[in-house]
Structure 1
Amino acid sequence: MTPTELEAQIAALPKVVLHDHLDGGLRPQTVIELAADVGHDLPADGAEALATWFADSADSGSLPRYLETFDHTIAVMQTADALRRVAREAVVDLATDGVVYAELRWAPEQHLQRGLSLQETVDAVQVGIEEGVSVAAETGRGIQVGQLVTAMRHADRWTEIAELAVANRENGVVGFDIAGAELGFPPSRFPETWRYLADQNFPVTIHAGEADGVDSVAEAVHLGQATRIGHGVRILEDVVFDESTRTATLGPLANWVRDHQITLEVCPSSNVQTGAATSIAEHPINRLKELDFAVALSTDNRLMSRTSMTQEMTLLVQECGWTIDDLADVTLTAAWSAFIHHDERRALVDDVVLPGFQKIEGAQL
């Protein structure tokens, strides 16, 4: 199978993405047009040159440096019209890539510079999402999309943002997250936030185990009561491998995460860029999957990583020898881990994901 044929076959698969940042998935041309509207200077001219700048700048091996690229995307997402457009285009782009369910995460507190209130930002994004779903439907592509409202780790607004998320649970918000620089900003900064979310029976995912180690993951699952972990690849620091016997001994935290099937939202290309993995071929996702951790595949930031779900799947097939069964496994794990009710997850699996994979039953990737 040629690379083109392989990518075409993978593009036809149904996909579920749980970890996709709204401010990390803009179209380069959209960044240019929105920047012109608000007078924001960009580091490159033209869509192709700008796309290259984002990818090259993100490819630093450092999470803090990676996060600097967001200064430009956030700067152009400060009006209701801009938020609506970015959300609409994100949904359309994901649907075009074969995504049937997505959760878009973003931090409302970063979009207040031109006078919007927190609630107005949520409303604008929701309108954009609904518009995107309608546009996708017109082209014959069905997609379901929820918002993941995020608080920034270095700021002091965690409980306020958590309350915003809960207040909008009937307005498209499906869960809560904290993001940003992981090291030095653990969940224990604001333990009352997690107590509030638990009391409200509200779903939580937490970035952990990317730029910090097992202690970060431990706080996420025990204090934060997260049922999903953003990235989480450094949980392998709590696993001892004997290469001579091909056996692994899991430590207490690794056992806890695996025993409770806490989903790891793994983003291979992004992890290589930030230094959480050395390469796709040597990415921890392979060992995590072999050890029966609950692994879901995601994109993280499609602009910064110049990626898509089709691209992430293709890389794993080409560089790690993944098969159609492996792709089905991570897709089903993601679907069953979505922050929607059980009957909705069941419908997503039975009516959308499984039939989509069965259409190419016997395919040789």
Structure 2
Amino acid sequence: MSRSTAHSPTDRHGTARTPGTQDPPETSRAPDGGHGPDGAGARRGQDSRTAVTVFVALGANLVIALAKAVGGIFSGSPALLSEAAHSIADSLNEVFLLASLKRSRRAPDDQHPFGYGKERYFWSLLAAVGIFVMGGCFSFFQGAEALSAGSSEDHSGYLVGLAVLGVALVAEGSSLVRALVQVRGHAREANRGMATELRRGDDPTLRTVLAEDSTACLGVVFALLGMWLHMVTGQVAYEATASFLIGALLVYVAYRLARESRGRLIGEAIDPVQRREFRRFLESQPEIDTVTTLLTMRLGNDSTLVAARVDLFPGLDSEEVEEVLVRVKTAMAELWPHADQVFLDVTDASAKDRAKARADRRELDETVAAVEREDDGA
């Protein structure tokens, strides 16, 4: 017997439609940080808060970029000009991120039947490229040029530059605090600590803003130290070193963001804890004998594809099989609203299939145990 059926709830962003939905198990954690029938509403609220966070960062960076550029031209400081390029890159990236928030919410269509959730990962990848090219490469260029050209700054230029960087540090710090407050809220909703949320949070837009603000604050500190040491010692090498450090910092952050976006664009599985919950739920159904295969893929922040091959206990006719599959998939959509694309394939499991299923289950348990140990140590 081999019959494949598919179930897609009418709300492709994960809202359960059945009244009286049962509460999910206490261990249940959705990738979007929410679960239950209000998951989609919670996600929209998180998107609204993320948009505000991005707007705050964009406004701060535009003002700071202008101030740094004017101060850098006036003082001739390579470190300050590097920071100006950094802020310009961040401003452009935040425009990308705002576009991702809007475009990823578009409804599915014939060309994109699973929706546009991966738009977030694409625009986050563009933001990473922007950080690398406009921020990192320009900073290295400024450092090399400073070493080859020497310095002609006077003390008035130093003072202007230091004042601009002091104001920038306050503005960037305010934006960073806003992003951290939102991350803390996400961590509370997902019942995990801040450190775990920073490592495993699923909103690429928020993670990019947080990375930008963090590197911006650290970059300003590097520039302040470089300019101050240059002023005290008269050695331009200190500012050149600050530019190189800023460039290296931006290249590293761009690499991390690009690697994360790449993984999700090419089809990344969801959290192993969540995969184990899916497997345990399926195995707990009285009609299911063995879950031979369980595959998952992120389709967006609030959309997940789940594909499983299951072997049912004998004695069920075709109509009963249909009822079982519909019931199981409906229950999964109610417990985990983000699991909005569920495909179950009924198959006869061989002895080899059963052995592989046991090995997969052990491997998944070991992966989850490793993740939990990492979380406990954070």
The normalised TM-score by structure 1 is: 0.31
The normalised TM-score by structure 2 is: 0.30
Query: Which has the larger strand fraction?
Result: 1
